[in-house]
Each structure stands twice: as structure tokens, then as C-alpha cells.
Structure 1
Amino acid sequence: MSEHRYNQPLGGNEMPRFAGHATMFRLPTATTAEGLDIALVGVPLDIGTSNRGGSRFGPREIRCESVMVRPYGMYTGAAPFDSFQVADVGDVALNTFSLEKSIGIIEDHFDGLVAQGAKTVSVGGDHTIALPILRAVAKKHGPVALVHVDAHADTNDHMFGEPITHGTIFRRAIEEGLVDPKRMVQIGLRTTGYSAEDFDWARGQGVRVVPAEECWHSSLAPLMAQVREQIGPDVPTYLSFDIDGLDPAVAPGTGTPEPGGLTSIQGIEVIRGCWGLNLVGADLVEVSPPYDTSGNTSLLAANLLFEMLCSFPGCLRR
């Protein structure tokens, strides 16, 4: 396959990694998703969060840290930039004063990207962004399977009387028929709650809930084999990865950190374990650079996004 057919990241021996344009993985930019297999898109929304803000700066900082990500997976042999036409299509132009209007703007934006034939890998922003993205994805694919990594279930009915926030989105997604709950798994849920039933609403809909305690001291490769069997290879599947699903020791730069989370290795195992599923989209959310003084959370996020590209069906592996 010709290496000139697909966009390639700018190499560190061509331009120093601390220089050049700050695009995701140093890829070319595009103004639309026309001709792209996968569009990398920033969604810098953080007015849906309930604790620490700052994730509006996530896409910009993750782009900066993505300069350290090279184009080949040395263990998996995955070569996403030799497999797909990928470009950075920039950020959604949100209404920073209105959550309700921003949700509509995001949905319309992703309607356009999906209509142009691209799959999307989205960079948040807080987790509210997943709902309008799923609305756009479901218009094409119908109810999708969902792999959800998070410290929180995000199935509250309301927060401060609001039906759509970063903590309610998956209740809305199930209620709206965007997600098939019997093909949905939540991984990494943990810590304290308001009642014993906090995680039970999802279970009652048929969702498989895997608390963090069930992941401690274990490889998650066997779990992901079960997930692939549960979902099947042909069902359109969406991956939503909240960085707070990982332990704050490895990902401190987030709005709602919770102790006892997944390791960075386990996070990589979950994403690599999606290889073999029919991924139609993915997001990574809740990176808050103001709480990431070393840049390590953003750097980890960039590497997780690379692993997502490697897990889309059709990615070449040596």
C-alpha cells in the first residue's frame, strides 16, 4: 500500500517535536471530513461539568502532547496512518454561554461529519459531549453497543434539575434508544455514592457493570474477550473513555478524580481489547489541563487516542 495515499504525521526528525503546528499527532488539518476515514475533532465544552472545570482546554493541550506519539504500535504492529485517511478537523464552535445550545451545535456538527462518511474520534471537553455525538451516530447506525470507561455511571436522572449534564448522559442515551443496554458495558465504576442503588439503574436496563474493585491487580484482557463475545463482531460499537476511569495517580488532571481507579496499562488493555469490534466512533473526555501541571494526563490521553485509532476495524497490523 502506497505510503503517499494517506496523510502521515510529521516526523520528529523532520521538525523538532517542540516546533511546528499543534495538530493532533502532527497530522494535516482539514476543514471538512470529506475523503476522510477518521476525523479527529476537538469538542472543548466544560459547562456541563459539576466539579472542577478546565476540560475546555483539553483538546488544545492533548494536541500539544500528541507530538510524542509515533505512528506505529511497536507491540501490536498497528499502523493506523497506513490504514486510514486521518486528519485533524479542528474544534466544534460552541456557544460557551449555553449548554443547551452547545448540545445542539455539537449534534449538528457531527451530523455533518457522519454524513460525509467519516468515523469520528472526539477529544473533550466534559462527558456531556458524548450524548449529542451518540445522537448523530445513531441516526446512521441505530442503537449502538457501548464500551464505557469511567469512575462514574453517568446515569443520574437530573443534576440540579438539569436533565442533560456530564452525569446524566447515559441514562438519556438509553432512554432515547441511542444505545443497546444489553450490549453495553461500564468499566471502572467506583468510590462513594449517595445510595446503594447508584449503579443499579444501569444494571436494571441490562448493562454489564464492572466495578473497579473487580479490576484490581488483574489484566483486563480476559474481560475484554468477554466483552467482544457479548457484543459480537458486526454490531456498530462506540467507545467512550472518561480519563477519570483511570486512577488519579496516573491521570490527576481531571475534574472529578476518584481513588482506586484503573492503571494506565489497564486503560490500554481495554482499548486494545476493542480490536475485533465494529467500532464506528470513540471519544476521550474530561482531561483538565489546569490540574495537569506535569502534562502527563494529556500525554497519556494522546497515547490512548492513538490506541483507539489502532482498534478501528481495518487497521493494518504487521
Structure 2
Amino acid sequence: MSGYQPPADLPTFGSGLSFIDAPMGNRDADFVVAGAPMDWATTNRAGTREGPNAIRAISRMLIDGAHPELGVDPKTLDISDLGNFDVRIGDIAQSHAMIEQQATGLKHLCTLGGDHSIALPLLRAAARKHGPLGLVQFDAHTDTWEDNFGQHLAHGTPFYHALAEGLIDSNRIIQIGIRAPMGASLLQAARDTGMTILSAEDVHEMGTSEVAKTILKVVGNDPAYLTFDVDALDPAFAPGTGTPEMGGLHSWQVRAIMRRLLPVNFIGMDVVEVSPPFDHAETTSLIAATVVWDYLCLQAAKAEGRA
């Protein structure tokens, strides 16, 4: 209808298709959301190329108000959704190079994956700006294999390469939720680098407050990066992922840990391994969207001087 003006408050289902209905296309925004729609580095079930758009779609559930604990709304930030990064179908190395180039120069990037291999080019771009980073990794797998089934660039290898390239500081790495089958020598090799590894059982037994305190102690005050693989959660909460592992974190535990990380000097993050073809009722996508929303709420609280 000519001259029609939409109402100021649309119903939830009528919101836009960007993440939390943020404005689109501003690379100069203080906080930028972008998708990395690739799944050709997976070793089990594919489908994570559909992850970014699924996370955006369900993020409509998070636009109705402020964080219930922190009391902030991330839409008060200068934030923009850039859409999805360009990638090269079937070519892992080229896709990584393209992601790194597109991530370079952005002020504070939140990336929606995509398989976990995308963390490597994102860390390359971030470390070029900030130097070796601390790493907070939620995951069922260490992702420190030198190769996956002969493939040196895969979703199980990003942190092997990130360590080898000096992108992350091994003494400031903490992995949370680890529980997948792996060789004892590989697990010991990961620990020998100096990183801290908390299994899912450790989280259950320690409690969320102690886990958060451990994270703060490990990463300290220097710049750090958050990488969140949804398979850190038990498949009961996050079935829509390529390599599910039983005995994982509960969704409430993730949120309780996240909201205690206000002091961490995060400079960027990703959430990965959402595979919508295996999801049920958008539950996995909602978890991923909420992790990003909680993360942005931390940044909004910092902008208010509460860190």
C-alpha cells in the first residue's frame, strides 16, 4: 500500500531476518555479526552451512527486552549484521583465506558458523590485531588433532594449527565440556601444552560458579576469544549438530557460566556446529542464538562501565 508506515512494535514473528533484527551492512559498526556458512570440513554429519541463517531466524525470540540478570539490551550497542561471508564450495583452504580477509579490519566480530574449522581464520585475523590470544572454548572435543582422517584442515584441527602458528597462548586456554573418545596420548599432548581442560563431568561436579572462577583465573585480563561449539551441550539440549556426544553440559549451566564472564577481555567470538537438518523445534539454533545474545549483553554491560 502506497505510503504505508509499519507499526513501531512488530510481533515477534514479524521481525526482520538479521540477527536480533539489527541493522544490516555496516562494516564500521562497533559490533558486527557475520555468518560463515561452510560444512565441508566436517568428519561426520554435514549441514552446518545452514547454521548462520537458522541462528538468525530464531534470534527473533531475543528481541523483546533486556537480559534478566544483567539488565541490558544488546541492541543499545552500535551493532550491524553483515550477512554471510563469501566462501568457496568444497575448498577448505580457500574458504579460510576468504573468511580471514573478510574478518580483517572489523572492530568486534561475532561469527555464526559453520563448522569449527572457521575458528582458525577468525583467530588469524584477530591475532594479527591483538597478538596471541587467550581462548575460552566450549566443546565436546579438544579439536587439537594434527589431522582428521588425513585432512589437515578440518573441524577437529583448528586449535592444533592455532597453537602451531602462535595465534593463541597455550597457558591462557581453557576448554570446557570435553568428553569425546580420543587417544590418551592426544589428550595428554593437549594438556602438556599448558592448556586447562575441564570435562563435562568436571563442570557438573564443580558447579557453574567455580567453573567461571577457573576461566577468569586462566585467561586473566589480556585479550581473549570465545569459541562455542554447540556439541559442548548434551544432545538432549542440542541435537542439531554433526558430532553429538552424550553426557554434556545443560543449557542452564552454559548461561550461568556465561553471565559470570563479565571481567573477561573478550575481543571476538564464534558459535559453531549448528546443523539444522538434525535439529528439533529449533532448539539447537536457539541455544546458539542465546549464547551470542548473552555474549553481546556482556559487552553492553561493559559499555555501561560495569566491568
Quickly say closer, same or farther: Cα 1:13–1:181, change in 2 above 3 A.
same
Letter in 2 for 1:88: D
Aligned equivalent of 1:265: 252
Quickly say closer, same or farther: Cα 1:180–1:92, change in 2 above 3 A.
same
Quickly say closer, same or farther: Cα 1:292–1:12, change in 2 above 3 A.
farther
1:236 pairs with 2:231: no
Please state how far the C-alpha of 1:81 moved relative to its aligned partner.
2.4
1:286 pairs with 2:273: yes
Aligned equivalent of 1:80: 74
Q: Deviations over 1:116-175 (max 9, x none)?
A: xx1011100000000000000000000000000000000001112221111011011011
Please state how far the C-alpha of 1:268 moved relative to its aligned partner.
1.2
Distance in 2 between residues matched to 1:81 and 1:44, nearest whole Å: 24
Letter in 1 for 2:173: M
Tell me the secondary structure at the aligned position of residue 251 of structure 1: coil
Distance in 1 between residues matched to 2:287 and 2:212, nearest whole Å: 21
- The normalised TM-score by structure 1 is 0.90
Please state how far the C-alpha of 1:218 moved relative to its aligned partner.
4.8
CA contact (8 A) 1:80 1:315 kept: no
CA contact (8 A) 1:144 1:179 kept: yes
Distance in 1 between residues matched to 2:188 and 2:55, nearest whole Å: 34
Aligned equivalent of 2:44: 51
1:132 pairs with 2:121: yes
Distance in 1 between residues matched to 2:238 and 2:231, nearest whole Å: 7
1:173 pairs with 2:162: yes
Tell me the secondary structure at the aligned position of residue 104 of structure 2: helix
CA contact (8 A) 1:215 1:262 kept: yes
Structure 2 unaligned residues grouped into runs of 5+: 1-5
Please state how far the C-alpha of 1:200 moved relative to its aligned partner.
1.5
1:156 pairs with 2:145: yes
Quickly say closer, same or farther: Cα 1:13–1:246, change in 2 above 3 A.
farther
Tell me the secondary structure at the aligned position of residue 309 of structure 1: helix
Please state how far the C-alpha of 1:317 moved relative to its aligned partner.
8.0
1:33 pairs with 2:33: no
Please state how far the C-alpha of 1:281 moved relative to its aligned partner.
0.3
Q: Deviations over 1:47-86 (max 9, x none)?
A: 111100101001111111000103410122133222x201
- The 5 Å alignment of 1:1-318 reads 14-30=9-25, 32-34=26-28, 36-70=29-63, 71-82=65-76, 84-113=77-106, 118-193=107-182, 195-233=183-221, 235-312=222-299, 314-316=302-304
Please state how far the C-alpha of 1:33 moved relative to its aligned partner.
1.4
Tell me the secondary structure at the aligned position of residue 133 of structure 1: helix
Letter in 1 for 2:194: G
Aligned residues between the structures = 299
Greater helix content:
2
Please state how far the C-alpha of 1:220 moved relative to its aligned partner.
1.5
Distance in 1 between residues matched to 2:165 and 2:133, nearest whole Å: 12
Structure 1 unaligned residues grouped into runs of 5+: 1-10
Please state how far the C-alpha of 1:316 moved relative to its aligned partner.
3.2
CA contact (8 A) 2:55 2:289 kept: yes
Distance in 2 between residues matched to 1:231 and 1:97, nearest whole Å: 35
